[in-house]
Amino acid sequence: MRIAIITDNYSKTSSKKGVRFQSIEYISRSLEMKGHQVELFCWLESDYILRKIDSEEVSLTNNYHDLDNHTLKVLYGYDLVHNFSMRFLMECVEQQVSLPIVTTITEYCSGNERRILRIEESDINNRFVYSSTELAIKYKVFPDSSNVITAGIDIVAWPFNNAPLQDFLLYNNEIHKNCGVQQAIDVAKKWNKKLIISGKIGCSEYFESIVLPQLDKFKIKYIGDLNDQKLSHYLQNVIGLINTSYNDNDTILTIAKSLASGTPVISINTDISAKLLGAKNGIILKGEKIIEELPDFSRLLNISRESCRMGALARFNNIDMLNSYTLLYQDVLNSSSVNLKPAS
Looking at the structure, tell me whether residues 221 and 257 fall in a common domain. yes
Looking at the structure, tell me whether residues 109 and 174 fall in a common domain. no
Q: Which domain holds residue 39?
A: 2-152+318-335
Mean per-residue pLDDT for 267-278?
72
Number of domains comprising the chain = 2
Least confident of 153-162, 206-215, 239-248, 272-281: 272-281
Looking at the structure, tell me whether residues 306 and 326 fall in a common domain. no
Give pLDDT, residue 65. Answer: 40
Say which CATH number the domain at 138 has.
3.40.50
Per the CB < 8 A criterion, the answer to whether 214 and 238 are in contact is: no
Looking at the structure, tell me whether residues 118 and 249 fall in a common domain. no
Give pLDDT, residue 139. Answer: 67
Please enumerate in sequence order all residues whose Cβ is within 8 A of that of 120, keeping only pairs 6 or more positions apart, or say none.
Answer: 89, 93, 126, 128
Distance CA 99, CA 92 (A): 9
Looking at the structure, tell me whether residues 96 and 147 fall in a common domain. yes
CA atoms within 13 A on the CB side of 67: 24
Give pLDDT, residue 291. Answer: 83
Please enumerate in sequence order all residues whose Cβ is within 8 A of that of 74, keeping only pairs 6 or more positions apart, or say none.
Answer: 50, 343
Looking at the structure, tell me whether residues 82 and 142 fall in a common domain. yes
Looking at the structure, tell me whether residues 264 and 205 fall in a common domain. yes
How much is the mean pLDDT over the chain? Answer: 81
244: left (phi over 0), alpha (psi -120 to 50) or beta: alpha
Say which CATH number the domain at 235 has.
3.40.50.2000
Residue 343 lies in a domain: no
Looking at the structure, tell me whether residues 134 and 173 fall in a common domain. no
pLDDT at 234 over 90: yes
Looking at the structure, tell me whether residues 298 and 188 fall in a common domain. yes
Residue 340 lies in a domain: no
Residue 301 lies in a domain: yes
Please enumerate in sequence order all residues whose Cβ is within 8 A of that of 59, keeping only pairs 6 or more positions apart, or say none.
Answer: 11, 12, 13
Looking at the structure, tell me whether residues 144 and 200 fall in a common domain. no
Looking at the DSSP assignment, which residues form a beta bridge with residue 49? 44
Per the CB < 8 A criterion, the answer to whether 287 and 293 are in contact is: yes
Residue 11 lies in a domain: yes
Binned at pLDDT 50, 70 and 90, residue 197 comes out as: very high
Residue 238 lies in a domain: yes
Residue 342 lies in a domain: no
pLDDT in tens, 4-55: 999 886 554 444 456 777 788 889 989 999 899 999 888 876 677 787 776 5
Per the CB < 8 A criterion, the answer to whether 11 and 60 are in contact is: yes
Give pLDDT, residue 285. Answer: 84
Looking at the structure, tell me whether residues 169 and 287 fall in a common domain. yes
Give pLDDT, residue 290. Answer: 79
Looking at the structure, tell me whether residues 113 and 216 fall in a common domain. no
**Of 5-9, 14-18, 69-73, 238-242, which one has max mean pLDDT?**
238-242
What pTM value is reported for the model? 0.80
Looking at the DSSP assignment, which residues form a beta bridge with residue 44? 49
Q: How many residues in the chain? A: 344
